[in-house]
């Protein structure tokens, strides 16, 4: 009877227990939804200069497709990136040419930022391509967070050797993510901030990527507007849309 009573006391705890996979899935859902449309401002900061641009994006999780359309500054407006699965194409409006990003270029900087082409082409792969382990709990900026280690599966063609993530326990909002190479060297880390209501959900609206291999370099994404779980026509993720001059 005593053992049964102890089990009854533990039931509420067990019912609310989260696996690492569940935490990652729910945290990703907060940021993305099943589909999304948004407007972003990206600021690239280096010791020599600061560069700013704005863009519109469309994303479909089930189809594993996305489109990025630069809208400012004027000299870059009209440049686009189309992602289908793990492949990516870049349309340059000035020359009206479309270039496929080869595998050898996937580790290169995306449009001069601290994100790589691979970050964009594989933006939905964290849940699919990594095995996750719940390491424990830590406080980040006064919020209790789960700490999760993610290592790539044997057959996954990914860049990072390991990723550490901190996710807020109260709402599954990402707080910090650290990205390591195969030798265990920390190369970059992302800080999520500016938490507010946007697109019908509470989420971080400022994502700042710090480049540890280039001191003084960072890239900040600010979500200006967003809509989630909406209908997006399949034609949006086509070469016709990519090369449409607008």
DSSP codes joined into one string, 87-98: EEEEEETTTTEE
Q: What is the mean pLDDT of residues 67-83?
A: 95
Residue bearing tokens 């994502």 = 207
Question: Coil, helix or strand for 159?
Answer: coil
pLDDT over 80 (residue 2): no
CA distance 86 to 20: 25
Closest CA to 80 of 63, 95, 98: 98
CA–CA separation, 133 and 149 (whole Å)? 5
The answer for 223, left when phi > 0, alpha when psi is -120 to 50, beta otherwise, is: beta
Q: Tell me the pLDDT tens digit for each residue of 156-196.
A: 777 789 999 999 999 999 999 999 999 999 999 999 999 99
pTM above 0.75, yes or no: yes
CB atoms inside a 10 Å sphere around CB 19? 11
What length does the chain have? 246
For residues 52 and 87, the answer to whether their CB atoms sit within 8 Å is no
Query: Could you give the CA distance from residue 192 to residue 199 in angstroms, rounded to a whole number?
Result: 17
Q: Convert the pLDDT of each residue in 86-137 to its tens digit.
A: 789 999 999 999 999 887 787 788 888 998 887 766 554 687 789 999 999 9
């Amino acid at each position: 009877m005593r053992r049964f009573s102890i089990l009854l006391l533990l039931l509420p705890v067990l019912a609310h227990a989260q696996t690492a996979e569940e935490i990652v899935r729910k945290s990703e859902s907060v940021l993305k939804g099943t589909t999304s449309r948004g407007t972003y401002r990206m600021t690239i900061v280096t010791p020599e200069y600061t560069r700013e641009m704005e863009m519109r994006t469309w994303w479909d999780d089930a189809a594993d497709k996305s489109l990025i359309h630069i809208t400012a500054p004027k000299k870059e407006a009209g440049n686009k990136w189309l992602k289908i699965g793990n492949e990516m194409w870049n349309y340059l409006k000035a020359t009206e040419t479309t270039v496929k990003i080869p595998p050898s270029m996937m580790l290169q900087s995306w449009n001069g930022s601290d994100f790589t082409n691979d970050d964009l082409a594989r933006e939905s792969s964290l849940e699919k391509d990594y095995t996750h382990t719940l390491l424990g709990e830590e406080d980040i900026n006064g919020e209790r967070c789960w700490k999760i280690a993610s290592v790539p599966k044997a057959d996954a063609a990914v860049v990072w050797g390991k990723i550490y993530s901190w996710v807020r326990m109260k709402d599954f909002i990402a707080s910090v993510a650290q990205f390591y190479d195969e030798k265990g060297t920390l190369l970059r880390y992302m800080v999520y901030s500016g938490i507010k209501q946007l697109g019908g959900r509470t989420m971080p609206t400022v994502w700042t990527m710090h480049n540890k291999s280039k001191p003084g370099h960072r890239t900040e994404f600010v979500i200006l507007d967003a809509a989630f779980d909406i209908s997006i026509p399949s034609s949006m993720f086509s070469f016709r849309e990519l090369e449409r001059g607008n």
